[in-house]
A and B are shown apart, each in its own frame.
Chain A
């Protein structure tokens, strides 16, 4: 057992982090939140060139030929910076929908009763007749509701990639909270010196690091139960982490100018993807009686 990132995996993650820092920094994030419903096509192609969508496509088919662990690492990075767009749907379409692998085509998919980015997508997988626009709570994720569709069993890879994005958010909001707790002073000292604040931050780290171990392990084993577990842990780490981050930011966190609310809203959107948490909970419960604990 050597449950550590390899040098190549580290390099891949760092490369993606640098690309995103160049192409989608904090200013770009706030800009995007002011101009909702518009996807940055040039950035989408840049992701395509960097192999984001074709990562798991075999080399014979023009892909990068890597596996789930690598996909999880780049999706974690996308989650950290709240990169907008139907990332998982396009990634899953690589090789099946022309242009998806290179980022020329934006692919979305009907997922349960929802579709993200319907108007901006070139291709929508699954049928979305009668899709009705919603005033989406997340300014960076336009949503349509698709009436009367029973949720199908989710694709485990979609579940895992969602978990990876949630992990990115969980890690990022912990960093944001810690930075703020070190810098902001009240009563003549940094608020991070107050236990109530320090313990909120420690709780965020404990959740995100547990989720990290679960998500990475699920990527290695590709076991549907490992994936379901990773998803639950990552959802919890992202949603509760973003709430606690907002709390640590105080009144500043409740303003539109701070990016904290964007993390919480995106984390909430993701909890409804790929079968939602109920599917994962029921799958894990069912496995208990099948003796797969």
Chain B
């Protein structure tokens, strides 16, 4: 077992650190969380800088260990988050790279990497969340296009996206996992209505998307017709990979800030609070080690993140909620003030045990795929 960098990793880390130290001071100020056009421009601008410095595809081209170093160093330095580029960089792009044709790769990948186009994910529907294969949005073949009608739900960044990775049902008579197709839909096509949904944190980070006879060129189909479920599994394995690793570093920083705040307001004298923060410190240290462990396992088995990602996702999502609950205890009545940054973080942490597969679904994956328990229901 070795936790130190290899010479190549060490070199990458040093080069990245130097570049971050040089680049970050010149960045424009972050737009407010609700300014979606502003955030789109900001996030694309950051991707453009990464591209020009040679870090464009670090999320998918690099080895898992290099990816982890990238996440660790950018977070430590306080660099911008992937933000609106999340879907394009972390799952649509890698899926197209793995499953698309040469023409599709040439059309869609460079704009993602250069920070020119934003993608969103149109998987979930009002009646198809955990049971994604129950999706009902229909698509008919009409000449050289699919005609799509239906609706999608909780589509993050839909308002500012150029493209949508869309799942549609192309064969309603097939068993439910077999009649699905994966399409790249341009978000400016006629027939698309985006209705922002307000989250409990007050922001509008996701939307409902209504599709009324939207024509999507058949050439935009990734994988075969009715073979979309297999392509979707590729997408989801990328989505659950190292996506949250950088956030663990951020949570450790927050924990340090909490301790400082508790010292200032006197709460630190309460041994119960200290012990609670001590436990969280242990948890986030362990989650970082677990990330390194999973990444080393992925590296040994050819780079594909396995079901071990579910262990991480399950624990991390709960730990993040506990972190901001502890913040509320440190803040006292100030935790009710929306102008305190931790208040909004506490609210948004509530989504972590739901989005990208609920905790109950992660438990199910661990029980069936890792422990080999019989399939239930």
Write the B341-360 contact mask toward A (1 if CB under 8 angstroms, else 0).
Answer: 00000000000000000001
Shortest Cβ-Cβ A-B pairs, 9 listed: A281-B278, A288-B259, A198-B367, A285-B278, A229-B282, A202-B366, A214-B286, A284-B278, A192-B373
Chain B positions 1-46 with a Cβ under 8 Å from a chain A Cβ: 1-6, 9
Judged by a CB distance under 8 angstroms, whether A247 is at the interface is no
Judged by a CB distance under 8 angstroms, whether A37 is at the interface is no
Chain B positions 265-298 with a Cβ under 8 Å from a chain A Cβ: 268, 271, 274-275, 277-279, 281-287, 289-290, 292-293, 295-297
Contact yes or no, A220 B1, CB < 8 A: yes
Q: Which residues of A contact B2 (CB under 8 A)?
A: 1-3, 220
Q: Which of A1, A201, A226 contacts B285 (CB 8 A)?
A: A226
CB contact under 8 A between A293 and B256, given known A206-B366, A220-B3, A282-B274: yes
Nearest Cβ in chain A — how far from B332, in angstroms?
A: 18
Chain B positions 283-318 with a Cβ under 8 Å from a chain A Cβ: 283-287, 289-290, 292-293, 295-297, 299-300, 308, 311, 314-315
Q: Which residues of A contact B252 (CB under 8 A)?
A: 293
Chain A contact surface mostly? helix
Contact yes or no, B263 A289, CB < 8 A: yes
CB contact under 8 A between A3 and B278, given known A189-B374, A210-B315, A288-B259: no
- Please give the residue numbers on chain B whose beta carbons come within 8 Å of chain A beta carbons, in ascending order: 1-6, 9, 65, 68, 252-253, 255-256, 258-260, 263, 268, 271, 274-275, 277-279, 281-287, 289-290, 292-293, 295-297, 299-300, 308, 311, 314-315, 360, 362-364, 366-368, 370-377
Task: Give bound CA distance, A285 to B283, whole Å.
Answer: 12
Stretch at the interface among A4-12, A79-87, A88-96, A129-137: A4-12
Chain B contact surface mostly? helix
Write the A174-193 contact mask toward B (1 if CB under 8 angstroms, else 0).
Answer: 10001001100000011011
Q: Which of A9, A201, A203, A232 contacts B373 (CB 8 A)?
A: A201
Contact yes or no, B373 A291, CB < 8 A: no
Task: Give bound CA distance, A158 to B288, whole Å.
Answer: 23
- For A235, the closest partner residue in chain B by CB is B282
- 21 CB < 8 A contacts A-B: A1-B295, A2-B2, A2-B299, A3-B1, A3-B292, A178-B372, A178-B373, A193-B376, A198-B371, A202-B314, A202-B366, A203-B363, A205-B370, A210-B286, A213-B292, A216-B1, A225-B285, A229-B282, A282-B275, A284-B277, A293-B255
Judged by a CB distance under 8 angstroms, whether A252 is at the interface is no
Q: Which residues of A contact B366 (CB under 8 A)?
A: 202, 205-206
Q: Which of B255, B259, B300, B311 contacts A206 (CB 8 A)?
A: B311
Contact yes or no, B287 A210, CB < 8 A: yes
- For B271, the closest partner residue in chain A by CB is A282
Q: How many residues of A contact B (CB 8 A)?
A: 57
Nearest Cβ in chain B — how far from A94, in angstroms?
A: 23
- For B262, the closest partner residue in chain A by CB is A289
Contact yes or no, B283 A233, CB < 8 A: yes
Task: Give bound CA distance, A216 to B285, whole Å.
Answer: 12
Task: Give bound CA distance, A198 to B370, whole Å.
Answer: 11
Contact yes or no, B256 A291, CB < 8 A: yes
Chain A positions 223-239 with a Cβ under 8 Å from a chain B Cβ: 225-226, 228-230, 232-233
Q: Which of A3, A5, A9, A280 contacts B282 (CB 8 A)?
A: A280
Task: Give bound CA distance, A35 to B375, whole Å.
Answer: 42
Contact yes or no, B263 A192, CB < 8 A: no
- For A218, the closest partner residue in chain B by CB is B289
Q: Which of A6, A199, A289 contacts B259 (CB 8 A)?
A: A289
Contact yes or no, B274 A199, CB < 8 A: no
Q: Which residues of A contact B377 (CB under 8 A)?
A: 195
Task: Give bound CA distance, A213 to B300, whole Å.
Answer: 16
CB contact under 8 A between A199 and B363, given known A209-B290, A220-B2: yes
Task: Give bound CA distance, A280 to B281, whole Å.
Answer: 10
Judged by a CB distance under 8 angstroms, whether A211 is at the interface is yes
